[in-house]
Structure 1
Amino acid sequence: MADKTVDHGPWTGCAVMFLQSHSPGLNLLSLYKDQQGKFVIFKVIKLTLTDSVAGICGYEILKVHDADPFLGVEVKFMDMAACQQFLESYSSGAVRQSLSQHASRLLGVPQELKVGTQLKAGTQILDLCLDKLDVCLQHIHLSQPERLRDEEIDRLEQQLQSQALGPGPQPTTIIEEESPVPINCFKFQNRVFEDRMLTAADVQRFSNGVGREWKRVGRTLGKSCRALKSPAIDNLAYEYEREGVYEQAYQMLSRFMEAEGRAAKLSRLVKALEDCKLTRLAENILDIQPRE
């Protein structure tokens, strides 16, 4: 298999994305095995993949299968640009974020669902070489699909199309479900904001306004950031005790940005502030003017 080459005909390739919920009481595999849950989970996967390829029509789902404890999603790519866009989205964490958002909304979960993922092409685990997207593309290209689309996927695709088209007594519901927040945006107080990496100005506003609550925000961010897990917050408090709470908050958020790189997004900070009931500070960072 290592010497296999595919250098003729149109560009195609195959990858399998493995999904697993890390939220207690929610098992994606069990939900998919349930007849009512199957369509909802398929819709979550479909919306996520559409987001990940930025609308490029260059992929199809071949099969969704039991890979206990994971749910396996086999995807065929018929366009290199679509595959590259997917890999970039996956590498940045946007695919996992999209999965969480769509699953939380469609499953009616009050908090954002935590989802773990793994990506493979044949026997190659692509998560180990995401810093080399050209290598990942080659592995996917070499992993040619070995089957046609599963009949169950055909039925689910038809059901999804039927729901999008009508019947028309509930147009509001259809519009709401088929118009998710774009993957490069997030919603706060029913308004959509463009997501971006945190800036020095954000750090300054945060540090000026958070006060002693910086520890609570840090621990909230630490749920998804290894660099802020216990005892990192207490160590920061001790190390910068003489400089005061501004410097402690500044160093905490700076450490988050250094550790997370491109994934240190504005949406993550706003969500942490919202979870800590610091909405005024979130409004300040987003430059939302207070209502008269």
Structure 2
Amino acid sequence: MALLSRKETPQTSYRGRKMGDASDVWVGSAYLFVQSTSEKVLLPVMYGDPKQKPCVFKALKLALADSTGSLNGVDVLKVHCSDPHLIIQLKFCKEDNCRRFLQSYREGHLQDSLQNHLKLSLSMSTLVPVQMELKTGSEKLDAMIREEERCLECIYHEKPNRLRDEEITELEESLRNCSFLDNNDNKGPSLNSSPTSLSSSPPSLNSLPPSYSSVEISGSLPKGDTFTFQGRQFANRKISPDDHQTFAKLVSKKWKQVGRSLQVNCRALRDPVIDNLAIEYDREGLYEQAYQLLRRFIDSEGKRATIQRLVAALEENGLISLAEELLCLHQNDKTL
């Protein structure tokens, strides 16, 4: 094995690179083997069917997004069909994303997420059970999956040997153009949800205006859905791009408290996600931290990411003026 043929120790090689030139980019690769244990679901056959391929790819893409918390957390370079497996070649461009992926894989969240997304994408009546294996070259990472540093090192030394396949590029473009999204996407699991928790909605890859790049579920809220704030009735609706930016600008240091209020029934904001956002976007400042928090909420909850839930979280933390701003109360009062 190439890794063991080096005269330097693995830790020296890996850490030496990591602590080296600041311009160095952390890049690694791995192969995810996925197999359905249901006799009714043959993933290689489905992926080979032009009509079902986009649905299977969509489920894979969303499950990987769940594992890292971002649609760009891991790149899919190629999907190979090798009965009974689908073999997905993955590329990681950030060590932190790779760590999140490994944690999700280790704790079974990636498996749960893929089973849920396959059920939705393929319009199945029950969950699609799958088994997974993670490999780099001749190394089987499942055997060392609790040794995170060792797994990271193996992935780091397995450099991608190809560019993204043209077929993958076309599939991702189809996702952005919503060419095969249907009404079955209106309900489903939240990020990293378990099979028994199916009350919230998964993110889809709907394209949105440049000012609002987060993803959401297609479809609108039921007509007549309202809520009460300060004795007035307001139409409930999905959080808009303007809401998103206003929240990020005005919430200031209380963004974490609001996040913990939104955390209820939103697994995408479970601990330690909020603290990790504070660290990850520390240099960018409060605006970006708050923006990314609400983006996680919207990505996870889809059409359930409503203005009512956001206003309730703001009210709970004493941010009444911000809630009024989002509901345009000040503007309405001026026109009275």
After TM superposition, is the score higher than 0.5? yes
Shift of residue 61, structure 1, vs aligned partner: 0.5
Name the structure where helix makes up a greater proportion of residues: 1
Superposed CA deviations along residues 26-73 of structure 1, whole A, max 9, x for unmatched, are: 101100000011100100000000000012733210000122221000
Partner of 1:278: none
The CA distance in 1 between the partners of 2:185 and 2:129, in whole Å, is: 26
- Structure 2 unaligned blocks of 5 or more: 7-12, 202-264, 268-336
Contact 1:96 1:117 in 2 (8 A): yes
Contact 1:18 1:72 in 2 (8 A): yes
TM-score by length of 2: 0.52
2:191 to 173, 182, 189: 182
Change (3 A) 1:189 1:14: closer
Shift of residue 176, structure 1, vs aligned partner: 2.5
Contact 1:181 1:187 in 2 (8 A): no
Partner of 1:282: none
Contact 1:184 1:194 in 2 (8 A): no
The CA distance in 2 between the partners of 1:130 and 1:190, in whole Å, is: 31
User: Are residue 94 (structure 1) and residue 114 (structure 2) matched?
Assistant: no
Instruction: State the Cα RMSD in Å.
Output: 2.8
The CA distance in 1 between the partners of 2:139 and 2:164, in whole Å, is: 22
Change (3 A) 1:188 1:48: closer
Partner of 2:47: 32
Contact 1:13 1:77 in 2 (8 A): yes
Report the AA paired with residue 143 of structure 1.
Answer: E
Change (3 A) 1:37 1:56: closer
How many residues are matched?
A: 190
Contact 1:18 1:117 in 2 (8 A): yes
1:46 to 42, 48, 61: 61
The CA distance in 1 between the partners of 2:71 and 2:47, in whole Å, is: 26
The CA distance in 2 between the partners of 1:182 and 1:158, in whole Å, is: 22
Partner of 2:5: 3
Change (3 A) 1:190 1:54: closer
Change (3 A) 1:25 1:145: same
Change (3 A) 1:79 1:109: same
Contact 2:189 2:197 in 1 (8 A): no
The CA distance in 2 between the partners of 1:175 and 1:40, in whole Å, is: 11
Contact 2:119 2:128 in 1 (8 A): yes
Contact 2:36 2:131 in 1 (8 A): yes
Report the AA paired with residue 161 of structure 1.
Answer: R
Change (3 A) 1:146 1:188: closer
1:147 to 149, 162, 172: 162
Shift of residue 188, structure 1, vs aligned partner: 5.3
Partner of 2:33: 18
Shift of residue 12, structure 1, vs aligned partner: 0.4
Shift of residue 191, structure 1, vs aligned partner: 6.4
Structure 2 matches for 1:23-172, cutoff 5 A? 23-55=38-70, 57-163=72-178
Contact 2:31 2:90 in 1 (8 A): yes
Partner of 2:255: none
The CA distance in 1 between the partners of 2:151 and 2:124, in whole Å, is: 33
Change (3 A) 1:124 1:40: same
Contact 2:109 2:194 in 1 (8 A): no
Report the AA paired with residue 149 of structure 1.
Answer: R
Which runs of at least 4 in structure 1 moved beyond 4 Å after TM superposition? 184-195
The CA distance in 1 between the partners of 2:100 and 2:5, in whole Å, is: 26
